[in-house]
Amino acid sequence: MESMQQYIEQAAELVSTAERIIVFTGAGVSTESGIPDFRGPDGIWRKYDPEDFTIDKFLSDSKVRKMHWDFLTTGGLNLTQAQPNPAHYAVAELEKMGKLYGVVTQNVDGLHQKAGVSENMVFQLHGDLSHAKCLSCTKRYPMEEIIEWMKKDIDEPKCGECSGMLKPDAVFFGEQLPWGVLMESEKRSRSCDLCIVLGSSLVVYPAALIPRYAHQGGAKLIIINMGPTELDRMADIRIDAKAGEVTPKIIEMAKAKMRAR
């Protein structure tokens, strides 16, 4: 059994020699920013019914819509104040090192961009919660604006232009993923030389195909996740620890190795 330090050292070696790195992230990369994941010990599914997160329920049931807006404004998932943690900054560092080929994320919190990763390098497979969209005329509203409306004690926000129904601009269960984003993510993951998974149980598809594509394309695979993942057997390096503690150490060590060459 190798020690944590040895795994970190091996991961740093892979980072230091890689040229095109895809970082694939899930809710676990943001728990250290105070945003709950779905399946962890304090996960959202302990308090909410996953059924209520389907698009059909949202469209058909005003009580479910109200629950969503409460959840986003005063409840568990008000993301407007959330700040990146050391894992997000470590990923941004990879871009500065000229090694980042893309961040493919299941997250809807925008924290990779807040940490400094370029907009065009972040592929948000499940959309994002920075905006809501009118389902009739497609006008988009910043979530901050909607949160202000909700403070005025309205049950459900409506489009200011056409009174249409608004929906948070994230992908709900039962909705299609954004096609172009998915295609570009697949293309890049198939041609990367290293894929680093941070904080994902890798059970949600098609998102979890991304590290599989990377592996099929011959890339090395590092998985950093607290608890087991579906692809542990494929990983070249598997680290069971907090992403915010381990990732910066790997990046710093990789930089030291590069300086020493």
Q: Does 10 bind Zn ion (CB under 5 A)?
A: no
Residues numbered 139-168 forming contacts with Zn ion, rule: CB under 5 A: 139, 159, 161-162, 164
43 binds, among ligand NAD, Zn ion, none (CB under 5 to 8 A by kind): ligand NAD
Question: Exposed (0-12), middle (13-18) or buried (19+): which is 3, by Cβ within 10 Å?
Answer: exposed
Which residue do the tokens 């198939």 mark?
Answer: 190
Within 13 Å and on the Cβ side, how many CA atoms surround 185? 25
CA gap 181, 200 in Å, rounded: 19
Q: Which is nearer to ligand NAD, 38 or 69 (CB)?
A: 38
Q: Give min distance, CB of 7 to ligand NAD, in A.
A: 14
CA gap 3, 60 in Å, rounded: 52
The verdict on whether 126 is a catalytic residue reads: yes
Choose which of 17, 54, 80, 136 interacts with Zn ion (CB under 5 A): 136
Q: Which stretch binds Zn ion (CB under 5 A): 45-53, 86-94, 138-146, 200-208?
A: 138-146
∠ Cα 148 153 155 (to 5°): 100
Choose which of 7, 37, 53, 112 interacts with ligand NAD (CB under 6 A): 37
Q: Give min distance, CB of 116 to ligand NAD, in A.
A: 18
Q: Which amino acid is at 209?
A: L
- Which of 88, 112, 126, 215 is an active site residue? 126
Q: Give min distance, CB of 62 to Zn ion, in A.
A: 18
Q: Give min distance, CB of 160 to Zn ion, in A.
A: 8
Q: Does 199 bind ligand NAD (CB under 6 A)?
A: yes
Q: Does 134 bind Zn ion (CB under 5 A)?
A: yes
**DSSP, res 124:** E
**DSSP, res 118:** -
∠ Cα 34 250 103 (to 5°): 60
Quick one: tokens of 24? Answer: 């694939």
Candidates 252, 260, 257; CA nearest to 96 is 252
CA gap 261, 248 in Å, rounded: 20
204 binds, among ligand NAD, Zn ion, none (CB under 5 to 8 A by kind): ligand NAD
Residues numbered 88-117 forming contacts with ligand NAD, rule: CB under 6 A: 106-109
Q: Does 50 bind ligand NAD (CB under 6 A)?
A: no
Give catalytic residue positions. 126
Residue ranges binding ligand NAD (CB under 6 A)? 26-28, 30-32, 35, 37-40, 43-44, 106-109, 126, 199-201, 203-204, 225-227, 242-244
